[in-house]
Every structure is written in structure tokens, then in C-alpha cells.
Structure 1
Amino acid sequence: MSDIICISPIDGKELVRRPAASAQEIDGAIAAARAAQKEWRRLPIAERSAYVLKFLEAMLASNQEVVPELAQQMGRPVRYGGEFRGFEERVRYMVRIAEASLAPTVPDDDRPGFKRMIKREPLGIVFVIAPWNYPFMTAVNTVAPALIAGNAVILKHAAQTILVGERFQKAMDAAGVPKGVFQNLVLTHEQTSSLLFRGLVDHTNFTGSVAGGRAIEQAAAGTFMSLGLELGGKDPAYVRADADIDHAIENLVDGAFYNSGQCCCGIERIYVHENHYDRFVDGFVSLTSQYVLGNPLDEATTLGPMANVRFANWVRKQTGEAVAKGATAHIDVAKYPADTGKTAYLAPQVLTNVDHSMSVMMEESFGPVVGIMKVRSDEDAVRLMNDSPYGLTAAIWTQDLDAAERIGGEIETGTVFMNRCDYLDPGLTWTGVKDTGRGAGLSRLGYEALTQPKSYHLRTI
């Protein structure tokens, strides 16, 4: 049996170790989920929702403990608090729309003597493979609506945030969720693949890398389970000639560097209209320079370490390659003594004179680096934004609503923002195109992804 180990990015030392589940424990969990789901699905939606709201309250009560725990596991500074504002917003929204979203659909052509409708039925067991970067919010995006829709849920959390899975289990137990309906399992990659290959679950939701998504698809091939995959991203921003530049600078700096750039929809490349390019770059560099890199348990720290040394080394490699090809690095790393070049602590970096021959403009960085390019027109910006294998979100900075919608229609992306970025609205579906993945989360469409249609064609005689 293997151990799952979390190495803290704060000091590179082992923080927590947990044994992986045994084969017997995995099979037992599946059997318990199957049995429990048969009863769980029979409960009214309102009753299932009530359990989920009790789970929410139990989770919110743990916030003071969770904040430093998260800093220790993945490096987010304690000054920013936990994730429970977005967590709560998403849970309450999905509870609020549950009855309407899961209500039967009745054809609009009435036929006397017939009762016809399409009901939404739970899939069975939903398997959630959660990431470490926003370990509470990314997991609850599927966990809450899956349970409300009548499914049983098995959660496998990332090794880097292994304690988050335990937090979910503790809150579910405190809420009185029936035994077997929700279970947190500690699994290796090999055990995860085997579980999928054996077709033990009915739907899998995975958030992670493109390589990880391909591995999930390969393991699940032939089982006919449904999949939800949120994979890589290289989210762009376009600052138009009519943008409020000060507002754009303030929000794009935050969108690029919050959580040390480890955000699924964080801004990784920026295209600025030539009329404002110099002013934008100057303001962006000035504001970026104000970040304080240090121990995330220190209230003064505004930029913590990346979650793992290898993640930081990847960003260092991308930055070094860009500079070697002619890019200009605007931030003096020497002013950040915590960044020794050998640990997970990485100074923020702003690059200009970049182009799409550079990895930093094409491949996901998932760290505190951003490249800025000058463009002459909307057409230039759209062409460059679409020159990417990914498509999760894109942000347009303009004072022209019609232009934003028009340009958004040309961008290959799952979400179009105007004058904001790096945010997930639970009323809108969370989805991606190209190598970013497949499926839909949250909103009414999230419920459709976690249920299957069943038609009723009833004739009276």
C-alpha cells in the first residue's frame, strides 16, 4: 500500500501523510455508494438540498482553521482568507435553482389522453477528482449539484491538498448525510485509473492538466461513463483603445498574480492597443512591483510560494526561454530575496517584446508571469487570442458593450468577460473549448451534465 504525501511549499518539508485506500476499501466504498444512492435518490429535492445546506454551514464554521491549513498545503497567503465566499455563493445558487432545473419538461403540443414528459434522473455514482489550486471551490462545483440531483459522490482530492478531502467528509458527517452517499477516498494515480477502467462509477469530473485529462479518457474508454474535463488554459485579455486604463491595470494585475498565478482562469497573456501600450505597461509593472513575496502565514505577505518547486521551475524555464529569445523582463528578481531560484518561492514577472514563438505565450504557465503584446486593432487581438490550443475564458476591456459582445463572438473560448476577469459566476455555465476540455459545470446546464433524461409517454384508455 502506498502513502500519499503533501510537501508544504513553505519549507519543503512533509506536512501530512495518508495511506492510500486498500483494494477492499475501494470496493467497499463503491458498494456502499450503490446501496446508499438507491435510497438517496428517492428523497425529495428539497430534502437533499437541506442536507447540502447543513454541509455548507458545517464547512463555513471551519474557516478559521482552514485558512492557515491551506497556506501550509498550497501556499496561499492567509491575508486573503479562505475560499468560502465563492464556495457559499455556488452552493446556495445551485440549491436555489434545483427544483426548476430538475423539474420535468413537458412538450408544448398538448395531446388529449396522453401524459408526456422528460424527467431528469441521477446518473448513479459521481467521481470527483479535485485539484489543489482552489481545492474547496473546484470540488464543490460538482459535489453539491451531484448530491442535490440524487447521485452518490466519491471524492478523490489532490495529494497537495489531501486535508481538504477530509474537511469535506467531516462536514458531510456533521450534516448527517446518510452513510455511503458521500465518501472521501485517498487514492494513487494507479488506483484512480483502475477504478475508471473497471467502470465502477457513472460519471467522472476531473480538473487538471491536459495530460491528466487524456489519461482519464483512456482509462474510461469503453465504459461509456460521462466525463466532465476542465484542463489547461492560457487565458487572454484584450485592452481596447477605449478602455479605462487604470481600471484595466488594477484588475489585470490581480487577475494575473492572485494565488501566485495558480488560477484556472487567471490571465496569462495580455494584448494592449498601441494607443495605450506604454502607459499600460508602465502602470502594470509599477503595481506588480508592490507584491510582497514571503511566508504565506505572515499577514504582510501578498504573494506566497507556488504549490510545488517543480511548478516554479517550469515558470522559470519559460521566462528564461523568452528572455533568451529577446523578451524584456521588467521585474528585478534581486529585489525578492525569498526567490533564490531553488524553492517554490517565485517573484512575479512581467514580460514585453514577446511573441507566439515563446512558450510563455502559448503553453500554460500557471504561475506569476504574464506576457504583454502591442496590437493595432480588434482583428489583431482576436487573431492572437485564438492562436492557442486552449479556451477557458477571455477578458475584453472596453467601454463599448456591443463591441465586447461582437468581439466575444469571434473568440474561441468558454466564457467572455468584459471589464473583469478570473471569476466564476454560478448562474453561467463553466465550460471550455479545444484542449481546455469538455462538459459543463454549475448553472442549469450543470444539473443536466449530472443527470440523464428519461422520457415518459403515458396513454390513458
Structure 2
Amino acid sequence: MGSPSKTEMQDTLSPIDGSVFVSRPLAGEHQIIACVEQASAAYNRSEASWKNTPLAQRKALCKKAIDQLLSHKDEIATELSWMMGRPIRYGAGELAGVEERSDYMINICEQALADIKLEDKPGVTRYIKRESLGVVLVIAPWNYPFLTAINAIIPALLAGNCVILKHSAQTPLCAERLYQAFSDAGLPEGVFQYLHMSHDNTAKLIANKQISYVAFTGSVYGGQMVEQAASGRFIGVGLELGGKDPAYVREDADIDSAVETLVDGAFFNSGQSCCGIERIYVHYTVYDDFVIKAVALTKQYQLGRSDNPEVTLGPMVRTSAADFVREQIADALDKGAIAHIDEALFPMSQQGTPYLAPQILTHVDHSMSVMTQESFGPVVGIMKVSSDDEAINLMNDSDFGLTASIFTQNIELGIELGDRLETGTFFLNRCDYLDPALAWTGVKQSGRGCTLSQLGFEHLTRPKSFHIKQV
């Protein structure tokens, strides 16, 4: 790791007005090495090591840390609105999710980490223990900065690992908030730390022999960089990457419910969600009704500064992200798509800014990038289909496979169709939600590994078999 001759600074520009909201020094070589060594020492020290700390104590400390974090929810909501542009009225929602997921993982960890006992053979006892890995590096994104981080942090700590968090340059205060919460809770020194790092130093840290696992959430390109940095080390790498999540509205669906659910799934967080709805297929018999109602609901959004309590749609994280979506919309229109939202209804939506009106496109097809490439913004294409088979084939026609949704009142048939979808999570009559009891995973370019559920603990531990013969 090369250390710069002078301290490099990381500036976080607020999407609200382009100002520098927070500036932090990037860690240099000596600070990074010291952090890793401290984490390794906290994990391995013979007396009072974290891996040997009783599980009941680890549970209590994690619970206390989450309580500490939640005690600052008002300040955190303000920070989120300024760092990544989510309307301040929704700030508490992410922390409610943090509490739900943390509580679930704390409550099931004894079962998830318990020994697997096998039937004894004559004179032989057999069982499998789950051992912690060591130092876990968590690389978290900006769009759901607490939720995505906590998915890996809490089970990693509960399993007896030490954690180093590298957060997005867009949301550095989230790392600091989490560190302060765990510090206030009384975690031993070195068990949970954070680093603000450049991409180059992050890659070098992944290659450090004292890192035992990497949990990454981000883009496909970022996931490729993580895999390359870890190449040849034979460590576990969890990758939660992109999505181009589809929904299918059958002819027997509750249209009002489907419209309300899918419009929210497409535009909440300005569409900046890996499992947000980016393409919708609607049976031709209910297509017109669905589009009319979806357009009417979309026009009710209030686009504006995310620190305004009245705003329901904030700016995108940066102008370049908004420009990418604008390019997708322009490409679709050039190829025959129809835009249903007049930008004039959203005066804050202007070229050269991260403020972008929500958009619904029809007359779309898979020759258009808006139906194939991840948009990660407030746009959704709606395509008419004539059958279940056509819808399923189009839903599977994607490089991604994170979630997929079907809306129907025929539950049995809906489940049968869900079995045919190439996806990590299948929803029936809902979307854009993570249940902590279910494995969060993806297929194809949406990544590999999983977080949440009992299965999530398996990726943060290793099995150790015991075969004991009586003599």
C-alpha cells in the first residue's frame, strides 16, 4: 500500500446543493496496517479474545450497540438526506429496518451457530462445529448505507469474527455512527473498526493475508474488482451486486394494489435500490387500466430538496447518475417508446442537476437499454404481454436475477410461475422488501453468497468436523 506524501482528503458532495457536506482524510498505509493488526489481535489474543467471548455476551453487546445507534435516529435522518438525497421524512424507515434485521439475527444466532450433532456410531461420536473465520472486511454502499452494512456486521460479530468496515465515500458518517454505537456499547478495542480508504488501498487490504472474508455490496464492476483483489487467496467473498428486477401483473391481479405497490417499488429512494422495480410486464387485458392508474399515482410525487419534510422524491445521488438515466430515456424515445410524465410537472427536474422527474415509459422492448441495463433511477418501462409464458420468458431475459414479482389472486398458479423464474427472491403480490428470515441472494450478475436468515451465518463461519473414537 503506497502512502501519499501528504494526506489525501475525501470530500462528500451533497446532492441537495452540490456543497461539500463532510470531508475526511483517507487512511494511509500505516493506519491501515495498524487497523488490521489490531483486529487480528482482538480476534486471536489468548485471553479475552472476541472469538472466545461467550455468545450471550456477544449478543448483549450487539443489542446494546443497535440501541445506541437508534437513539440518534433524528440526527441520522438529517445526515442521510444530505449525504445521499433520501427525503428526510423516510429517514427513520431505514433505522427501523436495522432494528428488525438485527433483532432477528440476534434471536436466531444460537440456533444458527449451534453444533450439528450426528447419530453416534458404535464407539464413535461425531459432530460439526461452526468456527469463526477471523477478520471480516465489510464494504458497504451509499443507497441503503445502514441496512446493507448491518446485514453482514451483526452476524459476523455474533459468529465471533472481528469486523473492519469500509463505507462508501458518499456516506462516511454512517461508518462513524456505527463505530460510535459499538464503542458506546462496550465492544473490546479492535473488534469493530472502520477505515476511509481509496479504491487502490481497499484492493490492497483485500489482498492482506489477515483478511479472512469480504462482504461487498455494490455494482457488478465493483464486484469484479473485489474478486480480482481476492484472487488466489481462497477466502470467502460475498457479492450482492446489481439488479434489473421485473414484475408481472396477471389479468386476475388486484390492479389497485399492484399499481400502489409497483409504483412505490420503482420510485422509492429515487429508484436507487438494487431490488427496486425497473421493468413491468402487464397482461394485455388489464394493461391500459394499469398504465392509467400508475401514471396518475406517479404524478402525485413531490420532487425537491431531500431536507424538505414535504418532499417524497429527492435528488439522485449525483448528476452523472441522473444523466445516465436521462440517456436511457432518450435512447428509448428514439426507438419508439412513449413517455407519460411531463417533466414540467416537476419544476426541480433540470438538466445538469441530480434532480430528475420520475418517468413511466410504454411501447418499450428489450432492444432498449432501459429494459436491459440497470437504471438505478426513477424510471420504469411497462410492456404489454399476451400470456404467462411470454411474461416469464421476458422476465428471465436478463443478465441479472436478484428479485422478481408476480401479481395474481391465483396463489397456486403464482407459485408455479415463480418456480420458473431465475431469481434469488420471488415475491407474490409484493416487491422491494427484505425479510430477515429469508436468505438474501442473487443469481447471474446479481452476485453470489447470501446474507440474512440462518443461512447467512454459514458464510461467516467455517465447518470443523469432530470424529471421536472411544478407546
- Pairwise same-fold verdict (TM > 0.5): yes
Say whether the 8 Å CA contact 2:81–2:91 is kept in structure 1.
no
Distance in 2 of aligned mates of 1:80 and 1:95: 25
Distance in 2 of aligned mates of 1:177 and 1:43: 11
| Corresponding residue to 2:253 among 224, 228, 243 | 243
The equivalent of 1:366 in structure 2 is 376
Post-superposition offset of 1:199: 3.2
Secondary structure of the structure 1 residue equivalent to 2:130: strand
The equivalent of 2:174 in structure 1 is 164
Secondary structure of the structure 2 residue equivalent to 1:97: helix
The equivalent of 1:24 in structure 2 is 30
The equivalent of 2:326 in structure 1 is 316
Distance in 2 of aligned mates of 1:164 and 1:198: 24
Post-superposition offset of 1:368: 0.2
User: Which portions of structure 1, spanning 4 or more consecutive aligned residues, are displaced by more than 6 angstroms?
Assistant: none
The equivalent of 1:282 in structure 2 is 292
| Corresponding residue to 1:130 among 128, 135, 140 | 140
| Structure 2 unaligned regions, length at least 5 | 1-6
Secondary structure of the structure 2 residue equivalent to 1:26: helix
The equivalent of 1:92 in structure 2 is 103
Distance in 2 of aligned mates of 1:65 and 1:197: 36
Say whether the 8 Å CA contact 1:2–1:188 is kept in structure 2.
no
| Corresponding residue to 2:421 among 387, 411, 416 | 411
The equivalent of 2:112 in structure 1 is 101
The equivalent of 1:143 in structure 2 is 153
RMSD of Structure 2 on Structure 1 (CA): 0.8
| Corresponding residue to 1:270 among 269, 276, 280 | 280
The equivalent of 1:433 in structure 2 is 443
Distance in 2 of aligned mates of 1:80 and 1:219: 36
- Pairwise mapping of residues 39-188 of structure 1 onto structure 2 (< 5 A)? 39-82=49-92, 83-108=94-119, 110-188=120-198
Q: What amino acid sits opposite 2:36 in the alignment?
A: I
Offset from partner CA, 1:327-350 (integer Å, 9 cap, x none): 000000122111111101110000
Post-superposition offset of 1:107: 1.7
Q: What amino acid sits opposite 2:406 in the alignment?
A: I
Distance in 1 of aligned mates of 2:62 and 2:43: 15
The equivalent of 1:33 in structure 2 is 39
The equivalent of 1:198 in structure 2 is 208
| Structure 1 unaligned regions, length at least 5 | none
Q: What amino acid sits opposite 1:246 in the alignment?
A: D
The equivalent of 2:467 in structure 1 is 457
Post-superposition offset of 1:196: 1.4
Q: Does 1:207 align with 2:213?
A: no
Q: Does 1:402 align with 2:408?
A: no
Normalising by structure 1, what TM-score?
0.99
Distance in 2 of aligned mates of 1:392 and 1:362: 14
Post-superposition offset of 1:264: 1.3
Q: Does 1:356 align with 2:362?
A: no
Distance in 1 of aligned mates of 2:231 and 2:288: 51
Post-superposition offset of 1:272: 0.3
Distance in 1 of aligned mates of 2:410 and 2:113: 37
Say whether the 8 Å CA contact 2:299–2:345 is kept in structure 1.
no
Post-superposition offset of 1:31: 0.7
Secondary structure of the structure 1 residue equivalent to 2:125: strand
What is the aligned residue count?
A: 460
Secondary structure of the structure 2 residue equivalent to 1:179: coil
Normalising by structure 2, what TM-score?
0.97
The equivalent of 2:4 in structure 1 is none
The equivalent of 1:11 in structure 2 is 17
Offset from partner CA, 1:306-331 (integer Å, 9 cap, x none): 01111111100100110011100000
Taking only the aligned residue pairs, the percentage that are identical comes to 55
